[in-house]
Amino acid sequence: EIVLTQSPATLSLSPGETATLSCRASQSVSSFLAWYQQKPGQAPRLLIYDASNRATGIPPRFSGSVSGTDFTLTISSIEPEDFAVYYCQHRANWPSLTFGGGTKVEIK
């Protein structure tokens, strides 16, 4: 079974800085990885699918990339509303769905 490991667990940044979040798969996987944002008291929201495609309405400061088993979510010039928890998800264990443990992006 493929495991997704997200790092760091917490990222402390000031508005305007760049956030780099990692999601590493335990073995080789396809690029069908998604990223979600969850704010307190809200449901997760789809940000990125297929590793690098932004979902509808997601601003261009959010970008995704992949290199081997390492997936990266980058938030350029982070804004106050971007402070949240971010999860990655992959279909590698399809028909099961797998989530990473999450990265909390907090205000420094």
- Close Cβ partners of 55 (under 8 Å, ≥ 6 residues apart): 45, 46, 47, 48, 49
Q: How do strand 103-107 and strand 10-13 relate by DSSP bridges?
A: parallel
The single residue among 77, 97, 106, 107 that binds other proteins, judged by CB under 8 A, is: 97
Q: Does 101 bind other proteins (CB under 8 A)?
A: yes
User: Tokens in use for 14?
Assistant: 């000031």
The single residue among 19, 21, 25, 36 that binds other proteins, judged by CB under 8 A, is: 36
Q: Does 43 bind other proteins (CB under 8 A)?
A: yes
Phi, psi of 93 (to 5 degrees): -95, 20
Q: Does 34 bind other proteins (CB under 8 A)?
A: yes
DSSP SS3 for 92: coil
From the list 17-25, 40-48, 64-72, 75-83, the region that binds other proteins by CB under 8 A is 40-48
Q: Which positions touch other proteins (CB under 8 A)?
A: 32, 34, 36, 38, 42-46, 49, 55, 87, 89, 91, 94-102
